[in-house]
Structure formats: C-alpha cells, structure tokens
C-alpha cells in the first residue's frame, strides 16, 4: 500500500508538516481526553512519528501483510505516519466489516494523488460514499443488468472471433490479442465505438491513460496522501518527480475521458449516436431538456465511462493472461480440460455461455486461475466513518481498512495446505470450498457491478482457446523450450510479467471453423 518516489526528499518536507500536525493533535487529545480501555488490534511495533512505514516493503506488500496476519491474527493494526490502518487476511472478517457492517466501512479515504491531482474525482471506484457514488454506481449497475448483458452477446462474439483470427495470424502475441479483446469490447460498450484497426485512436488514448495511472502510485498510500499540502510542492525542487508524473498523467487521463465523450456528444448533433453507455446517459439528459449540461454532469458521465474502461480491461485482462503461463506449467491440466471440452462441445462449433453448466472442470480451472493470482491483490481500501469495536478490538474512526485479497486466496483453512499450487481439482472435490468470485470483485456496497459480465467474458475467451488452440512453450535459438518464470507485476493491478509462448490451432478443422465464422460476417476483421 505504501509507495512513493523521491522518498527521502519528500519525507524531509513531510516530517516538518507531520510534527506540526502531531503537536496540534496531541493538544487536542489532552483537551478532549476520555478513557477508552478497549485495545487496538495487535500489529508491528511502531516508531515515533513515522509509525510502521519503515516495515512496509516497497513492492508486493500483500506478502508482508499475510506474514503479519500469521503473526498477529485476523486483524492487524498498522500506523503509517498519522494514518491508522487495519489489515485482514480473513474472508470472514472482511465480510463482517465490509458487508455486515457496510454502513460503517463503505467509504473511501481521501485520495489526494488520484482524485485531486489526477482529477479522477468522478471515478466511481474512488469517490467517497454518498449521493454522487450511489447515482453513478447505479448508472453502471443498470448497464450490466441481466437484460443489458444479453444485448452484449453479439459484441462479445464479434470481438472473440477477431481475437481468434489474430491468434492464427500472430501465434506468439497472445497478450496483445487479449488486450485487443478486452479494450475493444469495453470501448464499444462505453462509447459505441467499433475498433477496426491496430492503431485505433480511442484504444491508444485508453492504454496511455491507464499506463500513466498505474505508474503514479498506489491508491491512498503515496506521501502526498499523508501530507496533502505536498500537492503544491514546486515542480522545480528536488524530489518533485511525483508531481511531474502526476501532471503528465492528468493530461493523458483528460484526453482519455474527453475525446471519446466528445465523439459521442457530437453524434447527437447529427442524430446518429450508436447505442452505448455514454449515449444512453446523454440521451437521458437531452430528453429532459438539459441541453446545457453542467460541468459536473459532464464530469460524472466521463468519469463513469472511464471507470468502465479502466476497471473492465484490468480485471479481465489479468485473469486471461494468468491462464496462459498456468497452462504452460501444468500441461496435464490443459489436456484434461480439452478432453472435457471435446466431449461437451465437440469440434464443429465454438463453446457458448449455455455450455458452461456442463463444463465443471473448465469452471474449476477458471476458479483456480482467479484464486492462484488475484487481479487486484489488495483491492481498494475501505474507510471507517465512525469508531467501531470488533472481536474485542477498537477500530478508530477514519481508519483505512484493507482486505488482503491475495492473502485470503492463500488461506489454508479455505483451500488446503498447498495454496501456492495450481490445482483445479480443489474445486471439484469439495462442495464447501469458497468460490474466489466471492471476494476478488470487492465487498459490500463497493462490490463491482460488472462482475458477472467480466466473468462471462473470461469464460468465453478461455473456453474458446481451449476448444480451438494448443498452448505451447516457445523455443530459443538452440531449439530448447523456454519455461516462463511465474513472476507477476507489482502494484494496484497485477498480471504476469511478459512471457514467451506459442498458441497454435489444434487442427485444420479448428482453423476452418474460425475462418468460416469470419466469412459469415460474425467478426469485424482487422
């Protein structure tokens, strides 16, 4: 959770501010002191002023958080500078706090870097709980209702076939094909824009904006989040790299939101808007006579559509990419899931959603892929809006509450003594085992409204690859197989490090099946 660049220089400034803030708070506590014998949860021993910041690793903090959980228990209390944090690696505790007590733990902290410096104050996942959140979340929830998801089937099939055609043409570029599927599909849903070329402007803006977003720092854990006054730190001073990156990222993100929104808005001028999330919201305003929309209305529509693109592409893309190295390391699993696919679907058509209930091992492989490497290892922090007591421990008001999703996926009480092993059979052999879909998409009032659609896309893509393709290890210049290392990127969203693989059609009949559907006009070829 805690990461920042130019740390030492910024810390000097931050410590001066911190000392002043601590003095004021100490005076306030003396004046308003009241007795509270309820203990805080256990945790690593803090140092004066900085708390436990020095114990937090720069990368892969989910691993340290799990180690603390094993040392201190289901609730771990950590203080980073002046900010209290409670971490849990327990699914039951996460659900107790964020679902059963959702009214207390449904808020978000103040994200100075993301909301204020990057101007993402209308990103639905980041905004604080209240009327704005409820309104914009309902917009997204309505766009992924059961009826709406059925309407997306044609777009899913079209982009799926484009992906399969791309694999036939470029068998070593699977990550690019997966990115193309997720991005083109979400851009169509969000803006009604059909991608037909490799250098699509809307896709390029989205990718650049998302990459810039990922590079600036984790949500709520950079130094400027602890000391908001640092947002005014001059860019010409040493240690201002964080602000220069934020300024650059904010510009890219504005373009990412503005360009496709203005494209849809212009379509109304000529009476030709294509069906999309953005078009439906604009139509709602225009039908009510709001032709002069407020800047806030426009920001909320842009932010909500941008949330679709960022959240949808990251979660789906990470899981689909994780599946490939998992199969490279476990070819016996791939052979078994292909045998099941052949028995249920056969060799003369592609799998569809209706086949899913008849493919228990395919479903188990997807569940294990979700569990084996969660797309968002730490999710997004919740925030307590009042003091609470849980299991005999006091959780102060304005505490960051972090559910370590990666840690939950390693809970031996849930998944047995070998949680690091990729073993789909764990979901076949036990009816009581917890489905990772119950926690990788968030909790309570912050639960991802597009989770069922994302899961459907993951099934369609992975089942289609299983049905038509073989996954093989690439070879080096000496004709030796390259075994990809099982390494994953660090950060808010995590996916496999770049790896080499070759995805080839299983047979000539698989090639004919894909090309036949393309010739029938199912896909928009690139």
Q: Is a pLDDT exceeding 60 seen at residue 265? A: yes
What are the E-state strand segments in 326-439? 382-383, 388-390, 393-395, 400-403
**What is the pLDDT, as a whole number, of residue 101?**
97
Question: Per-residue confidence at 218, pLDDT binned at 50, 70, 90?
Answer: low
Least confident of 21-30, 42-51, 64-73, 339-348: 21-30
Residue 1 included in any domain? no
Which among 359, 338, 365 has a CA at the least distance from the CA of 510? 338
397 assigned to some structural domain? yes
57 falls in which pLDDT band (50, 70, 90)?
A: confident
Residue 11 has pLDDT above 60, yes or no: no
CATH of the domain at 222: 1.10.630.10
271 located within any domain: yes
Q: Tens of pLDDT along 432-487?
A: 899 999 999 999 999 999 999 999 999 999 999 999 999 999 998 888 999 888 99
Label residue 484 left, alpha or beta by phi (over 0 means left) and psi (-120 to 50 means alpha). Answer: beta
Above 50 in pLDDT, residue 33? no
The string of DSSP letters for 205-256 reads HHHHHHHHHHHS--TT-SHHHHSGGGGG--TTSTTTHHHHHHHHHHHHHHHH
Res. 9: pLDDT tops 70: no
Residues 391 and 75: their CA atoms lie apart, in Å, by 9
Kindly state whether residue 525 falls inside one of the protein's structural domains: no
Q: Is residue 306 part of a domain?
A: yes
Does the pLDDT of residue 24 top 90, yes or no? no
Q: Does 335 have pLDDT greater than 80?
A: yes
Mean of pLDDT values over 410-434: 92
| pLDDT for position 17 | 54
Task: Give the range of the structural domain holding residue 409, as residue numbers without chain letter.
Answer: 7-519
What pLDDT is attached to residue 31?
A: 44
Q: Which of these ranges, 209-218, 344-353, 515-524, has the smallest mean pLDDT?
A: 515-524
- Any domain includes 239: yes
Instruction: State the DSSP H helix or E strand holding residue 458, giving kind and residue range, or none if neither.
Output: helix 451-468
Q: Tell me if 470 sits within 8 A of 511, measured CB to CB.
A: no
CA of residue 32 relative to chain centroid, distance: 41
pLDDT of res. 446: 95
- Nearest residue to 363 (alpha-carbon basis) of 267, 263, 291, 435: 435
Residue positions forming the annotated binding site: 448
Residue-wise pLDDT for 514-526, tens only, equals 998 866 655 443 3
pLDDT bucket at 23, cuts 50 / 70 / 90: low
Question: How many domains does the structure of the chain reveal?
Answer: 1
Q: What is the pLDDT of residue 484?
A: 87
Identify the residue whose tokens are 């990368």: 59
CA distance 226 to 335: 51
According to the model, what pLDDT value does residue 309 have?
86
pLDDT tens digits for 109-147? Answer: 988 888 888 888 899 999 999 999 999 999 999 999 888
Beta bridge partners of 107: 383
Lowest-pLDDT range of 168-172, 221-225, 294-298? 221-225
pLDDT at 7 exceeding the cut of 50: no
Q: What is the pTM of this model?
A: 0.89
Top-confidence residue, 287 or 390? 390
Distances (CA, A) of 143 to 246, 277, 442: 31, 7, 19
Closest CA to 408 of 95, 48, 66, 72: 66
Count other C-beta atoms under 10 Å from residue 452's C-beta: 15
pLDDT exceeds cutoff 80 at 12: no
How high does pLDDT run on average in the chain?
Answer: 89
Binding site, annotated residues for heme? 448
**Is residue 2 assigned to a domain?**
no
DSSP string, 65-87: HHHHHHHH-S-EEEEETTEEEEE
pLDDT of 5 above 80: no
pLDDT at 82: 82
Report residue 289's pLDDT band, with 50, 70 and 90 as the boundaries: low
**CA angle at residue 140 from 137 to 141, to 5 degrees?**
80
The phi, psi pair for 404, rounded to 5°, reads -75, 90
Residue 35 binned pLDDT confidence (cut-offs 50, 70, 90): low
In a domain, 524, yes or no: no
Using 50, 70 and 90 to split pLDDT, how confident is the model at 281?
very high
CA distance 207 to 356: 31
Statement: residue 73 has pLDDT above 90: yes
């Amino acid at each position: 959770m805690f990461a920042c660049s130019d740390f030492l220089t910024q810390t000097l400034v931050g410590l001066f501010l911190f000392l002043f803030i601590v003095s004021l708070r100490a005076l306030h506590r003396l004046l308003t002191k009241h007795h509270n014998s309820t203990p805080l949860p256990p945790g690593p021993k803090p140092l004066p002023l900085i708390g436990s910041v020095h114990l937090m690793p720069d990368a892969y903090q989910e691993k340290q958080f799990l180690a603390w959980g094993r040392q201190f228990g289901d609730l771990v209390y950590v203080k980073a500078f002046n900010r209290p944090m409670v971490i849990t690696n327990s699914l039951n505790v996460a659900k107790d706090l964020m679902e059963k007590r959702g009214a207390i733990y449904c808020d978000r902290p103040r994200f100075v870097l993301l909301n204020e410096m990057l101007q993402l104050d209308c990103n639905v996942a980041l905004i604080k709980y209240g009327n704005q959140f409820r309104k914009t979340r309902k917009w997204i929830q309505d766009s992924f209702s059961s009826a709406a998801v059925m309407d997306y089937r044609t777009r899913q099939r079209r982009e799926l076939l484009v992906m399969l055609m791309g694999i036939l043409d470029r068998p070593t570029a699977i990550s690019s094909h997966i990115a193309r599927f997720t991005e083109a599909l979400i851009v169509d849903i969000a803006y009604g824009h059909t991608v037909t070329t490799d250098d699509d402007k809307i896709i390029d803006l989205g990718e650049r904006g998302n990459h810039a977003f990922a590079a600036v720092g984790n949500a709520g854990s950079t130094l400027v989040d602890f000391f908001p006054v640092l947002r005014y730190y001059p860019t010409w001073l040493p240690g201002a790299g964080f602000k220069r990156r934020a300024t650059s990222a904010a510009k890219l993100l504005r373009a990412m939101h503005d360009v496709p929104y203005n494209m849809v808005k212009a379509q109304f001028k000529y009476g030709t808007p294509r069906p999309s999330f953005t078009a439906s919201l604009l139509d709602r305003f225009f039908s009510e006579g709001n032709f002069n929309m407020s800047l806030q209305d426009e920001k909320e529509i842009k932010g909500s559509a941008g949330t679709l693109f960022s959240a949808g592409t990251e979660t789906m893309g990470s899981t689909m990419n994780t599946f490939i190295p998992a199969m490279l390391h476990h070819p016996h699993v791939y052979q078994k899931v292909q045998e099941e696919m052949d028995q249920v679907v056969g060799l003369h058509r592609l799998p569809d959603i209706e086949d899913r209930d008849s493919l228990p091992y395919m479903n188990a492989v997807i569940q294990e892929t979700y569990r084996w490497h969660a797309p968002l290892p730490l999710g997004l922090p919740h925030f307590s809006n009042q003091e609470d007591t849980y299991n005999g421990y006091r959780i102060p008001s304005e505490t960051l509450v972090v559910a370590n999703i990666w840690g939950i996926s390693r809970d031996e009480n849930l998944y047995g003594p070998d949680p690091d092993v990729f073993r789909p059979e764990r979901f076949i052999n036990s009816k009581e085992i917890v489905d990772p879909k119950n926690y990788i998409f968030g909790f309570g009032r912050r639960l991802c409204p597009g989770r069922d659609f994302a899961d459907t896309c993951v099934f369609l893509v992975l089942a289609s690859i299983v049905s038509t393709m073989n996954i093989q290890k690439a070879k080096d210049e000496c004709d030796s197989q390259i075994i990809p290392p099982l390494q994953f990127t660090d950060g808010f969203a995590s996916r496999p490090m770049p790896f080499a693989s070759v995805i080839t059609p299983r047979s000539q009949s698989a090639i004919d099946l894909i090309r036949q559907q393309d010739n029938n006009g199912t896909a928009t070829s690139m």
